[in-house]
Amino acid sequence: MSPSPSPRPFVYADHRLTCSGVDLTALAEEFGTPLYVYSAEAIRERAGLLQAEFASIPHTLCYAVKANSSLAILKLLAGLGCGFDIVSGGELERVRRAEPSALRQVVFSGVGKQVWEIDAALQSEILLFNVESEAELEVLSQRASLSGKTARIALRVNPDVFAETHPYISTGMREHKFGIDIQRARHVYQHAARLPGIEPAGVSVHIGSQIRAVEPFAQSLQRVRCLVEELRSDGLSIRYVDGGGGFGIEYGFEAFDPAASVAAYAAAIRSVLQGLHVHLLLEPGRFLVAQAGALLTRVLYTKQNGAKHFVITDAAMNDLIRPALYQAHHEILPVLETSPQRPTVTVDVVGPVCESGDFFARDRALPELRSGDLAVLLDAGAYGFSLASHYNTRVHPAEVLIDQGQARLIRRRETLDDLFAPELL
């Protein structure tokens, strides 16, 4: 059987796991563990796939900063022509520090924008505010008027479309907190058009995350298209359709062809928007960065409780919370591909944090891992580091970016002094 090409940059060479050609054992020795490792090439490749598929229509990829907000990753994406989807004033500041010229390509999403965040975004002359409520619209109008600015807005509409994904990351149905009911949107746009400092310029939608099927995207954009046509007949100049993010990946070892997946996704979107003459904005996060990254960890101990075997790693739920939070699956690979003399064992892979929810895998058949061995958790480039916490007074891991065969430290490991710095005795 010939293996299908890997959708990941983490592959074995001479039985040693590498990332874009760089040996992971060497990285662990140089930078320590736990360590987030990303491949710049893999991120470029994903961005290139999307850009190529949408090349025939005016579009901007506004990378969802929350997926992985490291400054070096943002700078890399800005260099590829990406804009950014932000959800806080902190993320706005990240874009400014990574690449100030990218502020003009920022869309600002989120249900709870605060006044200081709105003011900072107005001063930065971002591309578009994705407004999620009428109350927010009033505040935005007041702040824009005060500062003599005009805010281009899209209402984030809630299309009431069901998409198969984990309930915590599904957002496009009426019972969710996100967006404005699409039935009411036309009325709210009419109101918005009369508000000082507000310029309705687009319609926005985001139905959730890790959505593998193409139909929910097409269905929701079809509803958006109808709304755009109504709004234009009402005299509004709607130029932007923001299709949100959410395009999913394969976290297991099932065959996954990113190029074919993007082609299907793009074909569906292009077909729905055909002839509408809008500038398409997309907010991909996970699709761009998840598979470009992995969490490298060292086995501290192994132990057996009754029939259960545990592998205890130096990474924990505070470094990568997806398994605990979403019951997410991450494939685990030993860094040294062990020969047949290592048996396969069914184990729980767990971290040192004092919670039973601190696990990376349960009842997983893996080649036996021993104390001192290195392993990686794959597909940890999105919602990995960005969701890390200091729980159990553990420092954040370091991050390295591999580019052209070179490993570059993009975030040093925190020290305990970093951790205590804001505290007062």
Ligand X SMILES: *Cc1c(COP(=O)(O)O)cnc(C)c1O
* Residues classed as catalytic: 354
Q: Which residues bind ligand X (CB under 6 A)?
A: 64, 66-67, 85, 109, 206, 209-210, 244-247, 283-287, 382
Alpha-carbon distance 391 to 122, whole Å?
Answer: 35
182: number of Cβ within 10 Å: 22
Running DSSP on this structure, what letter comes out for residue 80? T
Residues 173, 237, 136, 127: is their CA dihedral positive or negative? Answer: positive
Closest CB 283 distance from ligand X, rounded Å: 4
Running DSSP on this structure, what letter comes out for residue 354? S
Closest CB 180 distance from ligand X, rounded Å: 14
H-helix or E-strand spanning residue 144: helix 134-147
187 — phi, psi (to 5°)? -65, -45
Q: Nearer Cβ to ligand X, position 298 or 322?
A: 322
Helix axes 115-123, 134-147, angle to 10 degrees: 50
Q: Nearer Cβ to ligand X, position 31 or 217?
A: 217
Q: Nearest residue by C-beta to ligand X?
A: 285
Q: Nearer Cβ to ligand X, position 24 or 262?
A: 262
Q: Nearer Cβ to ligand X, position 132 or 399?
A: 132
Closest CB 222 distance from ligand X, rounded Å: 19
Closest CB 242 distance from ligand X, rounded Å: 8
Peptide bond connecting 34 to the previous residue in cis, omega within 30 degrees of 0: yes
Alpha-carbon distance 138 to 187, whole Å?
Answer: 15
Decide: 203 and 234 in contact? Cβ < 8 Å: no
H-helix or E-strand spanning residue 95: helix 89-98
Decide: 102 and 62 in contact? Cβ < 8 Å: no
Closest CB 412 distance from ligand X, rounded Å: 26
Q: Tokens for 366?
A: 């893996």
β-pairing verdict for 240-242 and 293-305: unpaired
Q: Nearer Cβ to ligand X, position 31 or 256?
A: 256
Closest CB 314 distance from ligand X, rounded Å: 27
With vertex at residue 39, the alpha carbon angle to CA 209 and CA 37, rounded to the nearest 5 degrees, is 85
Would you call 168 helix, strand, or coil by DSSP? helix
Total length of the chain: 425
Q: Nearer Cβ to ligand X, position 189 or 247?
A: 247
Q: Tokens for 105?
A: 């390509």
Q: Nearer Cβ to ligand X, position 91 or 331?
A: 91
Would you call 86 helix, strand, or coil by DSSP? strand
Torsion over CA of 243, 245, 246 and 247, rounded to 10 degrees? Answer: 80
Closest CB 273 distance from ligand X, rounded Å: 18
